[in-house]
Structure 1
């Protein structure tokens, strides 16, 4: 898969309520990084199994249903295996019904058609407000 195809698949999984990653799209040595992760959450994960386990646990406990991924802008880089993606996730808090949104930037790296790296920069204040409902 190309970086664009992998991002499209990630976006489809966010909107379906599934964990972000399935094993078929990940390189065995995949690295995910969340430099601005909230306290208590890892900022870096290495390896397919670690990434899958955290994605499943996180999705199961996350009180927001994603309704839309909009304003997507994809920036090409000099490396054909790397794209930079700007997007906004819109979601509804499952307990309160309040809808909110937050902007993100992701750096996506592929290798041999698989996701090899994902670095996501989040608007932590917007996410905290959304989680508060």
Structure 2
């Protein structure tokens, strides 16, 4: 029997494209809010009802996202102040485990008229066409620099 579910590589490529699309929509000042909600639904649908998404290198501590609703809330709250954002140089590496892929890429774009770029590596488990586990290793300091948030990050790191 041939599975009609997308491959893990298909799912992670779709994810990177849909995140970029969400940022592009959010940058549109005339955006119909319903379009953003539809995009959030498309992103969330890439994840299983039960999932385990973590950001181990998050400088302020990792908050696991353990459900599709948690992941959707994460994306809804992520207000990226960029005019553009794209995942580029996307390389998906298959592993000995057919459910697991490693994705190397860079986020690149423009924020405040200035170009930015930072590297990411995601280790993702996809089962039956949805992400059930992901470890997202991204350059949080590079993102803070790109979005003018270094001072706020430093203050948060030195508080308490």
The TM-score normalised by the length of structure 2 is 0.72
* 2:46 equivalent in structure 1: 25
* Other-structure match for 1:36: 57
Matches within 5 A, 1:21-100: 22-39=43-60, 42-58=62-78, 61-93=79-111, 96-100=112-116
Greater Rg over alpha carbons, structure: 2
State which of 4, 15, 32 in structure 1 corresponds to 2:9.
4
RMSD: 2.0
Deviates more, 1:19-28 or 1:100-109: 19-28
**Unpaired runs of at least 5, structure 2:** 1-5, 23-38, 150-160
Query: What CA distance in whole angstroms lies between the structure 2 residues aligned with 1:5 and 1:55?
Result: 20
Secondary structure of the 1:11 match is helix
Unmatched segments (≥5 aa) in structure 1: none
Instruction: Name the TM-score, length of structure 1 as normaliser.
Output: 0.85
Structure number with higher strand proportion: 1
Q: How far does residue 22 in structure 1 lie from its aligned partner after superposition?
A: 2.5
- Counterpart for residue 33 of structure 2: none
Q: 1:103 to 1:29 in 2, by over 3 A?
A: same
The count of residues paired between Structure 1 and Structure 2 equals 128
